[in-house]
Chains A and B, each alone.
Chain A
Amino acid sequence: MVYDLIIIGAGPAGITAAIYAARKKMNLLVLSKDIGGQTLWTGDIENYTGYQIVTGVELTEKFREHIDTYKISVNENENVLSVEKLKDSVIVKTDKEQYSAMAAIVASGKTPKELDVPGEKEYKNKGVAYCATCDGPLFAKKRVAVIGGGNSALDAAISLSKIATEVHIINISDGFTGDVIMQEAVKGAKNVTIYNESRVKSIKGDKFVKSVEIETPQGVKDIVLDGVFVEIGLVSNADFIKSVKKNSLGEIEVNCACQTDIAGIFAAGDVTSVPEKQIIVAAGEGAKAALSAFRYIIGAKDKV
């Protein structure tokens, strides 16, 4: 069977695209690792129109309820391996199946960037963590490091400084890039030590993390600790699509109608080159991508 449209991802961009496509009665399939994407991991959201305040979990539930009111096939826990244009169709291969559609929208978002140092993979969830809000409480009265210098790193450092005995911030540049108000909070905490112009060389331990080896301007040193929180930004989930044009950050380049450089392949949300990574921006881009795809499919059907 050939679908009209396959949407990859079910964060705010993918879900909004699916709702718009369903209302245009498109024959539609959604493929995603999860529902909500980064929205699920966001704490309090105070800038999504219509909600003065809503948590990421609540907004994700609202998204799920909304998509459930339409008869849309949503395949969760399915990983897309490749997206390719073949003649007039788009072929999407996953770890379970191969699908064909007239058009596709890539709305696969971003995920936290990894350090890519020895020990990181081995000790994931054994001291290495990527979500201070989630896993922070397990490090009460323990020693931790936060890697990074942006807002998410500072936010993690502030919350960890309240429960951990020591917080070491390892920051690759010569100063923090996060908001000044957060920088002040970090600098004011007595149990926080800052290492600027420093990078992690390796993470060591036995069953669990025991230390990190860091390179500082003063030389290489080991810090004995129990936890390492990696907060060094995000990476685009676009490795599975090779053929489209991307920018230097690995984001898919789109024009103002969410078209990529390949006809029939559209993209929306944080995976694209569109500036401002916001839930409401991603949702709006998803709507645009679905309507653009609708126009493209009508045109393609007319040609046959």
Chain B
Amino acid sequence: MDRKITVYSTATCPHCIRLKEFLKNNNVVFENIDVSSDPVRTDEMVKKSGQMGVPVIEIDGEIIVGFDRDAISQKLGI
């Protein structure tokens, strides 16, 4: 099944790095938005998640704030 997965992150935040590593290790394909260089997508993330912390992951329209390994694993079935 094809899922649309977007990660909003910065290059330096530890949990962003861990989240992306976690997805890569589980062969999950995702689009990465570096919010430090994309103000338009940053606003989009803030509107969608209602907060300003990174990382944020969007899985088929559902927002999970932070690197919540359990919630992400459950949603992705990994």
A137 and B50 in contact, given A56-B14, A57-B14, A125-B65 (Cβ under 8 angstroms) = no
B10 at the interface (CB under 8 A from A): yes
Contact B13 A135 (CB under 8 A): yes
Nearest CB in chain B: distance from A94 CB, A: 16
- B52 adjacent to A129 (CB under 8 Å): yes
A43, A57, A77, A135: the one within 8 Å of B52 (CB): A135
Residues of B within 8 A of A126 (CB): 50-52
Interface size classification for chain A = 20 to 34
Taking a contact as CB atoms under 8 Å apart, the answer to whether B52 and A127 are in contact is: yes
* Residues A138 and B42 in contact, CB atoms below 8 Å apart: yes
- Assembly CA distance A122 to B15 (angstroms): 22
Which chain B residues lie closer than 8 Å to A208 at the CB level?
46, 52
Q: How many A-B residue pairs have CB under 8 A?
A: 58
A25 touches B (CB below 8 Å): no
B61 CB within 8 Å of chain A: no
| Chain A neighbourhood of B16, CB < 8 A | 134
B70 in contact with A138 (CB, 8 Å): no
Residue numbers in B under 8 Å from A140 (CB-CB): 36, 39, 42
Given A57-B18, A77-B70, A138-B35: A125 and B12 within 8 A (CB)? Answer: no
CA of A102 to CA of B53, assembled, Å: 41
Q: Which residues of A contact B36 (CB under 8 A)?
A: 137-138, 140
A131 at the interface (CB under 8 A from B): yes
In angstroms, Cα B46 to Cα A227, docked, is: 13
Contacts of B10 in A (CB 8 A): 134-138
Given contacts A137-B36, A138-B46, 8 further A-B contacts (CB under 8 A): A77-B70, A125-B65, A134-B10, A134-B16, A134-B54, A137-B42, A138-B54, A208-B46
Interface residues of A, Cβ cutoff 8 Å to B: 36, 40-41, 43, 56-57, 60, 77, 125-127, 129, 131, 133-141, 207-208, 227
Q: Which residues of B contact A (CB under 8 A)?
A: 10, 12-18, 35-36, 39, 42, 46, 50-54, 65, 69-70
